[in-house]
Amino acid sequence: MSKVIRCPRARVWRALVTPDELIRWDERRLALEAPIPDYPKPGCSARWRCRQGSVTVARREDPLEVVVAERLRSAVRLGSFAFEETYTLADRDPEATRLSLRISAQSTLPLLGGELDRFDVRRLSAESVDATLELIQRWCESGRQDAGR
């Protein structure tokens, strides 16, 4: 899935990789567990407390591939769910960026007392991607991130 964000690519990249901004635009992130110098870079994990529905869960992000202002691929563990997410940025025009987000997960995910099948995994992944792209688009296009600078 992707969205066109009416901001230059450098602005969108900054929103994706700056912890202070991430916690402001992604309403699901409640707190960063520890400072993360040089984020993102392979071998440098980020740990967050996040809200998943009405439950607070731990989120760990381990960058696997970082191409500045072009691609960020990370292994993510959100509670008991493990998946890989890849953000890809491309110029739409000088003042707009196409931001794509792809999530790769196993076909089934274990749950206490059962499992989610591939259709549930696909639906939950699509809902998460759509919500994430909507939140970052709203944040970047609002201009709020530059207030007070």
pTM beyond cutoff 0.75: yes
Q: Mean pLDDT across the chain, nearest whole number? A: 86
Phi, psi dihedrals of residue 107, rounded to the nearest 5°: -65, -30
What CATH code is carried by the domain that includes residue 45?
A: 3.30.530.20
CB 59 within 8 A of CB 29: yes
C-alpha–C-alpha distance, residues 89 and 98, integer Å: 6
Cα atoms in the 13 Å half-sphere on the side-chain side of 33 = 11
pLDDT given at position 147: 42
Taking only the tens place, the pLDDT of each residue in 108-142 is 555 545 555 555 555 666 777 888 999 999 999 99
Domain count for the chain, please give it: 1
Domain extent for 64: 2-146
CB 137 within 8 A of CB 3: yes
- Coil vs helix vs strand at 33: coil
